[in-house]
Amino acid sequence: MNYLQVFNQPKLDLNTIYTKLTNNTKKSLPPQDMRKAYLENDYNIIIEYNLDDVIATYDLAKNYQDLVVEMADYLNAPILDILYSAAGSLVEKQFIKYYLENNLVIPNRPSEQEIIERNKYSFSGAYVKQPIAGIHKNIAVLDFRSYHISILMSYNISPETINCSCCKDIDLSLKKSVLGNYICNNKKGFVPIIVNQLLTQRIKNKDEMKTYSKNSKEYRSLYARQYAQKILLASTYGYMGFSGSRWYSKQALEMMYHLVRSKIQEVITDFENLGYTVLYGDTDSCFIQFNNLDKLMEDISKISENLPKEMYLELEEIYLSGIFVRSRDKEKAAKKKYALLDFNENLKIKGFEYVRRDWCILVKETQKEILKLILKEQDPKKAVVFIKNVISDLQEKDVPINKLIIQTFLRKSVSSYKTINPVMSAVISAKENGKKIKTGQLIEYVITENGSTISQKAKLAEFVKEKEYDSNYYINNQLLPAILPILEEFNITKDELLTNTKQKGIGDFF
């Protein structure tokens, strides 16, 4: 479920997942307390804890069984197969189902040598328009509805429709051609047929959902069905470029990516020709500064009319203000890193430390508050006061340890690491204290005062006492790197935050 992005959680243990997904609390019984209860023959505590585990697991299963059942039913596959299938395998099951229903011969799996040859090739990425750095007001975010899917359908892209034998004798001027490859004129490809059916069914299910209460069985079933369809739609086009695919088509995916890039570029040019400032463009969406919303809606309709039949633009959301910060070299704005504030004061944050788990909670909370102050009140002075108070709390050791925990996954065994980094150091220290740690486990650690290097100072959070953290590390290596790129848009420097003085430039001496 996590892999398919049904939910997104870094920690996948029962306690964390159950609390996050159901908002219910689960009993906790640390190993030392369980051992104490056992030695004192107080078995009721252990029994109650185990029963609570069973109930929590059952609740989670009930929560997602509709989705799994709907997916299994749609693909005519056993539930166990669905539970252990990656997205590509689900798409393959969908293609096999179509071939069986239409009495077609299913391609063999590729050989090991074929997979090796396919892996030598890489596809060009999506188009990204360089953002315009700074604070901006009245931002509209536009996107193509089901962008990749609509391109598949509009251009009839499918493994068997590319350079097909039935159209090879047709005059080249009459063929649809992309990147030197022509597309079949005589028949609809099986991939566009499948995604069109999925998309139509999903829209129908979403519309029908609105007629039921959210607590009803009918609503839950329809929600699960449309979500299963969403997973399949999102995974279909990429499957054709997967090296282990039965229906691999290098040309199909090349054409897809080319059209994805070119269409968004065309739309950006259209808006610029109409006098709009396009602040940013990314894969299937663009961010536009507008003055009149009614006029914008009219222009969106005009541009959509000139797109292929199955493609159209839609207004995703409008925002009161937004910020695009500069990249590390300071010469241009960072791609895929922005924050937007809507008219209900809700923040949408992308690419900032706030959405990454390798930064502590204190940094995330502070960054979110700074962004809100900047975007809502446009007052950097309030932001400076706020950050100075946070720095002071760190220096006075008034920040609780649980807000300073840094998370990362242990990707490989300790012995395979050539250098000792903070994570490795924390793991090694924990193992020396009898802690069992597995590869793939989420590691939670704190940088303490004890040690001469940052790596030596890293300890698992459960072994760290309150106020034992290294204030300077959290100020200089966590807090300021996350906050300065925002405040630098207002010419606020690190010196101002730490010493109440502004470093002078050459121009200040003349």
Q: Output the domain CATH number for residue 165.
A: 3.90.1600.10
Number of folded domains that form the chain: 3
The pLDDT value recorded for residue 264 is: 87
Specify whether 423 is located in the same domain as 322. Answer: no
Both 419 and 293 in a single domain? Answer: no
**Residues 152, 89 share a domain:** no
Query: Do 91 and 185 belong to one domain?
Result: no
374 domain residue, yes or no: no
The domain boundary residue, chosen from 289, 311, 326: 326
**Does residue 217 fall inside a structural domain?**
yes
pLDDT at 279 over 70: yes
State which of 77, 95, 119 marks the end of a domain. Answer: 119
More confident residue, 155 or 330: 155
176 and 281 in a single domain? The answer is yes
User: What is the three-class DSSP state of 453?
Assistant: coil
Question: Can you give the CATH number for the domain in which 63 is found?
Answer: 3.30.420.10
Confidence of residue 84 (pLDDT cuts 50, 70, 90): confident
Compute the average pLDDT of residues 462-484.
92
Distances (CA, A) of 485 to 41, 184, 367, 381, 389: 58, 51, 11, 16, 19
Work out the average pLDDT over 14-32.
Answer: 84
- Is residue 296 situated within a structural domain? yes
- Alpha-carbon Rg of the chain, whole angstroms? 27
Do 177 and 96 have their domain in common? no
- pLDDT band at residue 502, thresholds of 50, 70 and 90? low
Domain edge (last residue) among 85, 119, 153: 119
Range 431-440, long-range pairs (CB < 8 A, 24+ positions): 433/463, 435/460, 437/410, 438/410, 439/410, 439/411, 439/412, 439/413, 440/409, 440/410, 440/411
Q: Residues 6 or more apart from 36 whose CB is under 8 A from it?
A: none
> Would the CA dihedral through 69, 73, 79, 81 be positive or negative?
negative
In a domain, 256, yes or no: yes
Sign, CA dihedral 285-363-407-475, equals positive
Position 10 scores a pLDDT of 67
- Domain extent at residue 420: 405-468
Residues 316 and 203 in one domain: yes
Residue with tokens 């409008």: 318
Q: Is the pLDDT of residue 374 over 70?
A: yes
Task: Please tell me the distance from the alpha carbon of residue 426 to that of residue 438, in angstroms, as a whole number.
Answer: 13
Q: Could you tell me the end-to-end alpha-carbon distance of the chain, in angstroms, rounded to an integer?
A: 63
The answer to whether residues 263 and 205 belong to one domain is yes
Q: Please give the Cα distance from 468 to 93 (Å, whole number).
A: 54
Q: Which of 176-185, 242-251, 352-361 has the lowest mean pLDDT?
A: 352-361
Enclosing H/E stretch for 313? strand 313-326
Percentage of the chain with pLDDT > 90? 39
The answer as to whether 508 is a domain residue is no
Does the pLDDT value for residue 294 go beyond 90? yes
**Residue pair 279/285 in contact by the 8 Å Cβ criterion:** no
Mean pLDDT, rounded, for 5-29 = 81
Provide the pLDDT for residue 174: 62
pLDDT of amino acid 506: 37
Same domain, 113 and 141: no
Domain contains 378 = no
Q: Which residues contact 27 (CB under 8 A, 6 or more apart)?
A: 48, 49, 52
**194 and 274 inside one domain:** yes
> Given a cut of 80, is residue 140 above it in pLDDT?
yes
> 188 lies in a domain?
yes
**Do 261 and 204 have their domain in common?**
yes
Residue 286: pLDDT above 60? yes
What CA–CA distance (Å, rounded) separates 248 from 246?
6
> What pLDDT does residue 508 have?
45
pLDDT computed for residue 271 by the predictor: 94
Residues 222 and 146 in one domain: yes
Q: With cut-offs at 50, 70 and 90, classify the pLDDT of residue 354.
A: low
pLDDT at 171 over 60: yes
Residue 293 above 90 pLDDT? Answer: yes
Q: Is the pLDDT of residue 507 over 50?
A: no
Residue 300 resides in a domain: yes
Work out whether the CA dihedral 329, 332, 333, 335 comes out positive or negative.
negative
